[in-house]
Every structure is written in C-alpha cells, then in structure tokens.
Amino acid sequence: MQISALQKARYGYKAKLPLILRGKIGEIQAEYGEKTRSEGQEEEIQKLFPNTYGMPVVSFVKGANSITSKKMKVGVILSGGQAPGGHNVICGLYDALKNANPENVLYGFLGGPSGILEDKYIVLDDGIIDSYRNTGGFDMIQSGRTKLETQEQFAVCTEVCHKHGIDAIVIIGGDDSNTNAAVLAEYFKAHGEDICVVGCPKTIDGDLKNKCIETSFGFDTACKTYSELIGNIERDANSARKYWHFVRLMGRSASHIALECAIQTQPNICLVGEEVEAKNQSIDDITAYIASVVAKRAEKGLNYGVCLVPEGLIEFIPSMKVLIGEINDLVAKRAAEFNAKASMAEKEAFIESLLTDASKSVFRSLPAGIRAQLLLERDPHGNVQVSLIETEKLFIETVKARLAEMAKNGEYKGKFSAQNHFFGYEGRCAFPSNFDADYCYSLGYNAVLLIANGLTGYLSSVTNLSESADKWAAGGIPITMMMNMEQRGGRQKPVIKKALVELDGAPFKYFEARREEWAENTCFVFPGAIQYFGPSEVSDQTTKTLALEQGKALA
C-alpha cells in the first residue's frame, strides 16, 4: 500500500509519556484516595452498582510491585464514532503490556462491541502496531455502535473471555460506551468473574470530562482541524468581501467545539447553545442578534463575516427542545401510523395534528426543509438526529428575511449574500496532533497499570494536561463517579453525565469579553494546518479551552 510522506514521518514520532509512566512498570504502584460518589441520584446508582460503587480515585506513584509479572491476555474494543488518537491508545496498551511481560497478548476485537459478541478478532503484533502509530482513524480494528447492555450479551462476553483466557477488556469510547463498560464490570463482579474492564475517554465533542478527566481524546485534533478550515474561510471572506459564511460544527450535546474554534479563530459570531438555553432565547431572538451584527458591519462597509453554529444548537432553543421532545414521543408511540404515511407532506400533517398548540406554532414557523429534517429517521435512542438538521441554513433564511424588514424601515443598507458549510467528518479521522498522540498513548499505557492492579470499572485518567507531558499525572477514576440517572427510551437509566459549556467558566468568559469587538471589527485569526514539527510552544500546545480552564494566559 502506498503511503504519504507525512504518514511515514508520523510513524517515526515518539509519543511522550508522563514521567511516572516511563521506565519499568514493575516500579510503579497504586496510591488510593478517598471513596467516591456519583454525580447525581446516589442511592439509585449505588443500588445498580453494588459491587463497583464508591471505589476510590487512584494515582500512580513510584514504588515496587510484583503484580505485573504474571502473563496477561487483554482484549481491546473501539466503540462509537471515530476520534483522532484511537490508534495510539491501542499502541500504548500494546507497548505497556510488552513492557510488563513480553509474553502478554493483545486481542483486537473487530468492528466494535459486536466483535466480542461474534468472537471476531485479530491478535495484534509488532507489525500491525507499528503500521498504525500516530495515525488517524479507527481502521486498525474498526469501530461499531453496538451497545453492550443486556444480560445475554454479558454472558456471551464471559464465554468469549473464557475461551481465549482473556483477563481484561479495554473499551475505548464515549459516555454511552463507558457507561456500558461500567455495567459490564458490575456484571463480572456480581458473577464472580475475575475479568477486569477499563475504559478510555473518547469523543471529539469534548463533553466527557470532569476534574479527573480534563479532556476527552480527539477534541484537540478535531478543533485544530476545524479551526484551520474556518481560518481558510475567514481569509477568503476577507479577500472577496461579499459573503457571510455560516459554519455548522459537530457537537450535539454541548458547544465545546464551537467555543474552542471561536477562541482559536475569532469569528464575528459564535452561538453557544448553553447560553441560548440559559437566556431562554427563541429562533427570533437569535435571528435578531445575528441580523444586528450584520447591520453594524454593513454600516462600516463590511458586508461579509463568519458565524459559527454548534450542531446541537437546535435542541438548546427552549421552544425547539419542547417541539423535538413532542415529536420524538409521537414518532415512538405512533410509529406504525407515522411510517404508513406515503409522503413527507402527509407525515408532517399527521405530526402537526397531534402537537400542542405552542409546538404547532413553532413547527409551522420553520422552513419546509427544516420541518422535514425533524421527521427523519431517529437515532438508536429514538431521538432526532441533529446532525441532519441544517441549522446554519435555517438562520441564513431567517436572517435574510429579518434584514429585508430592516431595509424597509431604513435600518439596514447593506448587501447580504450567504454561504453555508458543515464541518463534521473532516475532523474525526485526522492525523492526531502531537497533544492527542501523546495523550492517547499515555491513556493506553496507563490502562495496563489499572488492569494489573485489578481496578475494574475504572476510566484511565491522565491529568495536569496544560503542562508538558513529563509533568502529567496518571491514575484512574471509577466510572460510577461520573454517573447520574437520565430518561432514555422512555425509562430512567444510569449514564455518564455530559459536561456542558460552563457560562461562568474561564473559556466562555474569555470569549464573552471579546465577542463584541470580534463582531463589529475584522479580528480573524488564521491558525493554519496542525503543526507536527517545530518549536514546542507551537507543535505541542493544548487547546485554548484547557489552558484557560487551568489558569494559563493565552499568547
């Protein structure tokens, strides 16, 4: 297979480890902290996880141990959407296993969680591992979205582990995948199985985090990739000076990506879903805000600009959230009748007839294309797929109409011409940044120490990430510590609580203090391509979000 010059160069990049993880694994020991509590509904979570609830946070420190000398067989699964750095997690796992004992074996289950259910795997060796170091994607063993959540599935997992003599399973995934990891760990414990389950925090959305999981892997690379593209569009806008560019960015449940990209590129407008919800803003309110910025720039002869829109914004608008909730329930409860409708017009009429008056009014106010997108196929949880809703086009239409009204009243004398973009898949499989390459390798390496110490139901944790890699700390946190109860599929289920943008947090406050200047003036920043080579302050920097959260000043 032909490979690019960059791929050859990235093979040779030596991922950096925290100082504590360097050297012999037999010279690292676990240090235990206090017992932990769940994010919410403590009594319910404790009932569901009687064997794995309340375990302590763990840190790794220097000290002799003998537990790594036994031979181990470990299985690894990639679960959910791709995120840059997944291959390096597996490389870190492999290298740490071989460091502990050259006879250790790593099984890669193929196609996500279905791989273990169907017993489809490859035994990973030096040749496979070395051909995927520091590369993007999940193609080494592929991913999948099968959920490990039923007793029958857990029984199959047990059989497969027994068949191959597997001592531990590492699940690399997001909040749902790691919730499943916690449930599987509890099942093994409850059934007296000595099989360890460890998770690694993955999602480009950046919403899987807390004080011990400072960021999920892939977020840094995805934001740098999107910011390069946004910078290119800003340069084009500043050159042609005739278009407003509306850019929708991935991030269903939180606006972390949009906010990070805004801090990196300084667009004229960035909408933050959490602020929209907190201020109870409507589509009209958001439209009025965008139109006012467009008009102010037009007064200066600046009939161009860039507006960032988070993918999940539509669900943060309170009236839209209610509407979508009603539609989700109706599509689920009246599925046979809904699906029997031959055309989209008939489906719209059927749903509209069943909506409350308030939601019916909102539904009727939407452009035809958006109404249709709200009724498309649901996701596995029965929810609308927000990635299919072209929110950026919605606001292009509503802003255009508002500006036409303002022009009639003499409040706007500019020219409005818009272009729309959606940046999603472009960021999920990029070559990982140096930060993600190092972070992911450390997460995988660290996971072996969790396994060796029998720490099942834990999430691999590497912290102090705004410092250089040698100063990072390593350890683990119980997955139940991040859980609360939420309504899923019509019933309460334990899930890892999503971390939203904090409106009183340093990243949003930084943005809030500068957005008025960015709105009226042209303050564009052009980050350029991800830097892999060069001075450390350029090529090894973390996200702006992480730096601000940890009290670092931005250059």
Give the pLDDT means over successive 10-residue stretches in the chain (555 positions). Answer: 88 96 91 95 96 97 80 96 98 96 97 98 98 97 94 98 98 95 98 98 95 96 98 98 97 95 98 98 97 98 98 94 91 90 93 95 92 85 79 96 96 97 95 98 97 96 96 98 84 92 98 98 95 90 94 88
- Predicted pLDDT at 268: 98
The yes-or-no answer to whether 27-218+432-488 and 314-385 have a common fold is no
Active site residues: 205
**CATH 3.40.50.450 holds for 27-218+432-488:** yes
Look at residue 26 in the predicted model and tell me its pLDDT: 86
Q: What is the pTM of this model?
A: 0.95
Q: Between the CA of residue 105 and those of 75, 123, 393, what are the distances in Å? A: 9, 7, 51
Q: Quote the pLDDT of residue 240.
A: 97
Q: Specify the pLDDT at position 68.
A: 66
Question: 372 phi and psi, to 5 degrees?
Answer: -65, -40
Give me the helices (H) in 242-312, please: 256-265, 273-278, 283-299
User: What's the DSSP call for residue 502?
Assistant: P
Q: Parallel, antiparallel, or unpaired for β 458-463 and 418-423?
A: unpaired
Q: Does domain 222-311+390-427+498-533+541-555 have CATH number 3.90.1150.10?
A: no
Please report which helix (H) or strand (E) contains residue 74, including its range: strand 73-78
Domain boundaries, the chain: 27-218+432-488, 222-311+390-427+498-533+541-555, 314-385
What pLDDT is recorded for position 428?
96
Q: Which CATH number fits domain 314-385: 1.10.357.10, 3.30.310.80, 3.20.10.10, 1.10.10.480?
A: 1.10.10.480
- pLDDT, residue 381, reads 65
